[in-house]
Chains A and B, each alone.
Chain A
Amino acid sequence: MEPIITIRNLSKSYGEKVALNNISLDVYPGQIIGYIGPNGAGKSTTVKILAGIIQDYSGDVHVAGINLAENVLEVKKKIGYIPELPEMYDLLTPREYLTFIGKLFHLSDDVIESRTVRMLDSFGLKDNLDQRMDSFSKGMRQKVLIVSGLLHNPQIVILDEPLSGLDANAVIMVKELLQVLKAEGRTIFYCSHMMDVVERVSDRIVLIDKGVIVADGTIEELRKDSSDSLEKIFAKLTSSDDTVQRAGSFASAFTDHMEKPTADE
């Protein structure tokens, strides 16, 4: 099978700081890739390059056979990017915002209208279609953001911490949605810190640390016959297995001045 995403020797620096250091990766259609790593490891940089937002990188990236550097617009049409923070023009209503996004993807008015209504309805936001988003909760914004990333029916979906702020029902729905999208043959790039979710939904896990891929495989392959959870594996591979000790030293910072937590305050 031909990989849908091919990354070769991808590097990116911000001034002195190296964000990605010679990454190579193949992703196959219909896979859910769990892309994990500590803060500042380079996860967001990778997905922003894939989404065509960052364009000054070195290395080769091909998406569905298209060279990203040569034809970024075609790649953008195939990708649905859902960023971590729901930064939107929230003076608009979801209907207006999604119409705006749909136009940027050259969708027709009818398609935008029917998809907007149906998608928001399944998130339980039908009654909020014509309300300004500045009064929305974080979870409601997140839902609109997810819809805005899927509106143009993308082949590849990139989700950066998609569950943050969602209520329990919405979390279940998003997880179900991932499976439906996968069954339709779409590829999903899933960045998260929530190890238990990553462990459950991903077909393959890629662990990145300090701009380098340190592990790549199914959860079983990563375990290597041990019964460790993904959380433990993560801690081992990103050299932070002394977390217990660190937590202890954190708490001991209070003892310098012998203050006890007071209950009566």
Chain B
Amino acid sequence: MNKFLLFLLMIPSALWKRLGADVEQLRAILHVKLMMDNRKPLSFGNNRGVEHKKKKDRKYTTWLTMLFSFFMGFVYVFPIIITEFDPVIGLAFFYTMFIFIFTFTLITDFANVLIDTKDKFVLFSRPVSDRTIMLSRLLYIMIYLLRLVIPMSLPAWIVFGIIKGWKGALFFPFPLVLLVFVVLFLVSALYLLMLRLASPGRFKDVLNYFQIGFSIVFFAVWMISSRMINPEGFKELRVEAYDGVKYFPSYWIAVCWTWVEGAAKVLPGTRWMSILAILFPIASLWATVKFLAPHFIRGLVASDNDNAPAVPVAKSSGKKSKKQFYTWANLFNKSDAAKAGFVLTWLQTSRSRTFKMRVYPSFAYVPVYFFFILMQGGRSFTDVWDNLSEGQGYIGLLYLTTFVIMQAINYITMSEQYKAAWVYYATPVDKPGDVIAGAYRAMWVKYFMPFMAAISVFVLFIWGGSVLFDIILATVNITLFSVVIMRMSNRALPFSRKEQMKDSGFRTMVRVLGTMLLMGALWITHYGISNLFYLDKVVNNTFLSAFISTTWLTVLSLVLKLVFLVLSSVFLWLVFDSLRNTDWKSLQKSEQYL
């Protein structure tokens, strides 16, 4: 597969040459990069502890990723079906979804490839021009995009072929290539521009916060727009109703369909825009390579930390400044190993850009998700807000905080510097479980506790003091849930595992879904107990009503909640104890670190 894609990308080598790249070097760089990728272990769903499984497994990495994308692709079939009525707007809609999802993937995952400085000693010291290096990276990312695009668009391709016949089937892949170009060059132009404008030392931080902000916006827009679109309205979807669409590249690309079906309806006077669809990607490619590439490496090297001036973390006062987290560490941990794990995790998570990138957006997901759920059925925001205190939405809101702790504990075992974990093995650590428990507590205290507190204040403000017990129960349940996950699937020393960059956006989405299901079970039980009053209505007119009164149900509800709380607490204690007693035998061997 990679060989085929590499072959495809090297077809326009005359163009690459004109853009100032050395084609032979370009091919060599791409070949090595792809070869290395195929030797990396599988990025999702694998047991990272067992890295020396059969070599064969790794060969299937590419194929498995593609299979996964194929299933994701069924989501995008929908707008294609409506193309029966109005193909141009249907396609425009389809392309918009694709542009959206790929921009997201690019900005969060692959853009780091573009600005990677890991191979600086290998490449930057050799006679390879900036343009060659930059183009090699762009094409490398492009191969990744194509590997996602091809399987993801396959279901839509088939459906489109059925509706529009062989002409449609033949036409379909062509605009997608244009689309990939548009996304790739827009995003890289943005990054390179930032590299030029931001001061080198700050570039990576600026980028980091940009990525976090973008993920949040993306998520909010995605959730809310998918909620606001009324499926019934699709049947009425006509291109005339969306005049503004002509300003977007996805529409230009969709207009290309008129080459095949001349009679297809477009906005008046926009037929020529299909030319834009071709010109725009080429122009952006040219502009990116011509204007932004020349200072590419200089900017990258300057932004690299090795060359940046040392940044003091705190004023060196000669005396140790007692920091807040040391107090927390002493408060929450008894053993020295746990304290060490607590402080290390606290500091690393404050400073690791990858960690922040992956975890901070989830803070914003909570309120977004909350309103997304409430706005189901096309309710407006003001409608939801005005009637908020009447329902029992607070239970859902409280349980949504699970995202925060889940994302945090998912990434504390990973680090770019996982090799530094040798110290655990060379120091007299009796039970590594202590260090792991300390790391968990750090995440609980640092992220979950303040977040839960803020949500609780909001909940108490809207719903009143009577829900206090629910807050306590939810806190215990979420803690229990996260400790179970930590114990089952994430039992490793903090920052001792290799980062798995590839497709992390997808992995996040899959995990978010899984988490939602499990968390849902706890939430529904809690919700059910709180809603015993409905029983009252059910039995109201039957003979049972003589036995069941509202007071009785209130008492029953409280008792059940208390039982639930006690059970959860006992389980929490048991599971946490088991986590804390993790011994060396259940962890990875030390060999990989040195």
Contacts and interface: CB of A to CB of B under 8 A. Distances in A.
Interface of A: 14, 44, 48, 51-55, 73-74, 76-77, 79, 81, 83, 85, 87-93, 95-96, 99-101, 103-106, 109, 113, 117, 127-132, 134-136, 148
Nearest to B430: A73
A88 B417 contact: yes
Contacts of A85: 419, 594
Interface in B271-325: 305-306, 308-316, 318, 320
Given A93-B314, A99-B343, 16 more contacts: A51-B426, A54-B591, A81-B426, A87-B417, A91-B352, A92-B347, A93-B313, A96-B347, A100-B340, A103-B339, A104-B340, A128-B310, A131-B313, A132-B310, A135-B309, A136-B310
A74 B429 CA distance: 10
Interface residues of B, number: 41
Contacts of B308: 135
B428 A87 contact: no
Contacts of A91: 347-348, 351-352, 417
Interface in B511-554: none
B469 to A, nearest CB: 38
Interface in B570-594: 590-591, 593-594
B270 to A, nearest CB: 52
Contacts of B420: 87-90
Contacts of B314: 93, 130
B435 to A, nearest CB: 8
A99 B321 CA distance: 13
Interface string B392-434: 0000000000000000000000010101101111111110000
B381 to A, nearest CB: 40
Contacts of A129: 316
Interface of B: 305-306, 308-316, 318, 320, 336-337, 339-340, 343-344, 347-348, 351-352, 415, 417, 419-420, 422-430, 495, 590-591, 593-594
Given A76-B426, A91-B351, A132 B415 contact: no
Given A88-B420, A101-B423, A104-B423, A135 B311 contact: yes
Contacts of B415: 89
A88 B419 CA distance: 8
Contacts of A104: 336-337, 340, 423-424, 427-429
A77 B428 CA distance: 6
B594 A48 contact: yes
A130 B313 contact: yes
20 contacts: A14-B591, A48-B590, A74-B428, A87-B417, A87-B420, A87-B593, A88-B423, A89-B348, A91-B347, A92-B347, A92-B348, A93-B313, A96-B343, A99-B343, A101-B423, A106-B336, A106-B428, A131-B312, A132-B310, A135-B306
